[in-house]
A and B are shown apart, each in its own frame.
Chain A
């Protein structure tokens, strides 16, 4: 009787593809109704499943087959509970995937069966860092921004110029800025990932470019050249954008903005950032290059406040 509750949705789906499951679906449906009315199923579907299963197991282990046969009701209830639990888990996962681009919600970057490659959640992570109290990051006047400075909402992004996932989020960031033209502003904070080559140097370089008023262009060109970037390119790219390379090189060689980079990274760590990119939209955190729809859902929510 219990098993028909599990059989119904399974057979219903299978019957879309094969007519042979339609009869079984109707049998399961009838059984579900009768179970709901505390009556015995007429179809004998449960009994057939019980006997078939027992027979198959008996080939391997008669003792286990006997156990299954004698405890079938209890086992059915256990399977039913697991089934309901997994249906619940799958539904939550699907909801999260639709809303956040990951089964695990906005912040978790664990495995998601709907996104097995982790397209929306992969980040460049640092080693675990224990933080007793989370301090949300604050906007800083001096830090560069993308979009309208007077926008109603400013998103803070912790990113790394050497991080491929931060790079992957760039088109989404652009899409957000285009969609919410003038209404949303994004402040990019450099988060230093020690095991990434040129992570620290690119962060310094972006600050040196800002000094010469070319931050946005330089931010863009670094990401465009991320895959092949070498240290010497940092100055060459600055020159290409018409910056004063002597001044730029001096800024780099003296590590003028070392404290700024470290301060941004520390701010990220205090805010609980463990990998890049991480976005703060109001009090909400998004980890990884999430799809546009996820950003939109959070931005719309914040805009309504």
Chain B
């Protein structure tokens, strides 16, 4: 029992949970509390307007709400300044922004782990066409991060280290603080893919000392199509713009233009104000519950499931055996069965919704000669009873 934590009470905030489902696909997409839904509607019902263009009362109200959201995000990850928060569409866009704006030169090296989501692999593979070298750090046999391999991969040419914080393959959280320390010692910048980490654990950008942190709104109860790129102010100021146009410049002539201040210079065109305001509300909701409590709750659910199923010889889990090392993810395969079949059967039997496939990390699965896995992922509203239902159903399926 986590003191003061009541998932049954939390569930009442989520209209989707009124359906007869066990929602275990949170690593892909979280559900939204009614507070976030209402906040989005509030923009459309009460103050629909543009920010930074018009100066009427509605525009000022939107500006105020967007600023509030930026400050909420800043508070959530303990950034140094609100201008370090750049709103994007998702984690992928944040990483692409860095890949295209950091000013890579031929011969520069980028280091990533062997467990990256395509969002943190493809942008760097694409840069290889411009003479950038990509280095992959092999993980330990239990899929945890190998700091020694990482240390060896660094050299004077390493411009950027870009690693996932919590893996969406198995839930393992990488030692980002140590990674950042080693990278900075090597004068390399650090970008962290925080898509799975920020929604379910305390992330302190200052303490971690990372240069960039990208994450998405849709995994943390925010609206789809919203994301954040945090960047240290002095690093962002050195960066070139990625997408340019409306709101990214202060002034322009037929010959030239002058850049806007941070963060606007990286937020081109009319933004998804409803989404940004909704994301701010999601941050408020998450902070109110407490990220550390969410993290403990996810591990608790994972423990119930892991302890009940890992003795089953037909079930193999991806990642370490210990549930506490896999946060809120239980990624597994059942011998002799397709992972897609497992997911579909669960859906049709008791409405247990999980994901199956390569989870956008095809490179890792291809390297390990696996077609994919079935992945159950938990969040703050999941209950022990749901974990028991999942266990029961998996036991039945594995007995086929």
Contacts and interface: CB of A to CB of B under 8 A. Distances in A.
Interface string A44-73: 100110111111101100100110011000
Given A56-B349, A58-B349, A70 B400 contact: yes
A62 B396 contact: yes
Given A47-B340, A65-B400, A54 B350 contact: no
Contact of A48 (B344, B346, B350, B399): B344
Contact of A44 (B340, B350, B397, B399): B340
Contact of A51 (B344, B350, B393, B399): B344
Interface residues of B, number: 16
Interface string B146-157: 000000000000
B341 interface: yes
B238 interface: no
Contacts of A59: 349-350
Contacts of A48: 340, 344
Contacts of B108: none
A15 B399 CA distance: 38
B252 interface: no
Given A47-B338, A47-B341, A52 B348 contact: yes
A58 B346 CA distance: 9
Contacts of A52: 344, 347-348
Given A52-B348, A55-B346, A62 B340 contact: no
A113 B348 CA distance: 34
B146 to A, nearest CB: 36
B353 to A, nearest CB: 12
Nearest to B342: A51
B345 interface: yes
A51 B347 CA distance: 9
Task: Name A's interface SS.
Answer: helix
Task: Count chain A CB atoms within 10 A of each CB in B345, B393, B396 and give the residue with the most.
Answer: B345
A51 B338 CA distance: 10
A69 B397 CA distance: 10
A50 B348 CA distance: 11
B347 to A, nearest CB: 6
Nearest to A54: B345
Nearest to A56: B348
B341 A54 contact: yes
Interface string B330-366: 0000000010110111111110000000000000000
Interface in A219-265: none
Nearest to A49: B344
A56 B341 CA distance: 13
B344 A55 contact: yes
Contacts of B399: 62, 66
Of A51, A52, A56, most buried by chain B (CB within 10 Å of CB) is A51
Contacts of B345: 51, 54-55, 58, 65, 69
Contacts of B400: 54, 65-66, 69-70
A91 B29 CA distance: 50
A42 to B, nearest CB: 13
A58 B347 CA distance: 11
B213 to A, nearest CB: 37
A55 to B, nearest CB: 3
A193 B400 CA distance: 63
A65 B344 CA distance: 13
Given A52-B347, A55-B348, 16 more contacts: A47-B338, A47-B341, A47-B344, A51-B340, A51-B341, A51-B344, A51-B345, A52-B344, A52-B348, A54-B400, A55-B346, A58-B345, A59-B349, A65-B396, A66-B400, A69-B341
24 contacts: A44-B340, A47-B341, A47-B344, A48-B344, A50-B341, A51-B340, A51-B343, A51-B344, A51-B348, A53-B348, A54-B345, A54-B348, A54-B400, A55-B347, A55-B348, A58-B348, A58-B349, A58-B393, A58-B396, A59-B349, A59-B350, A62-B399, A66-B400, A69-B400
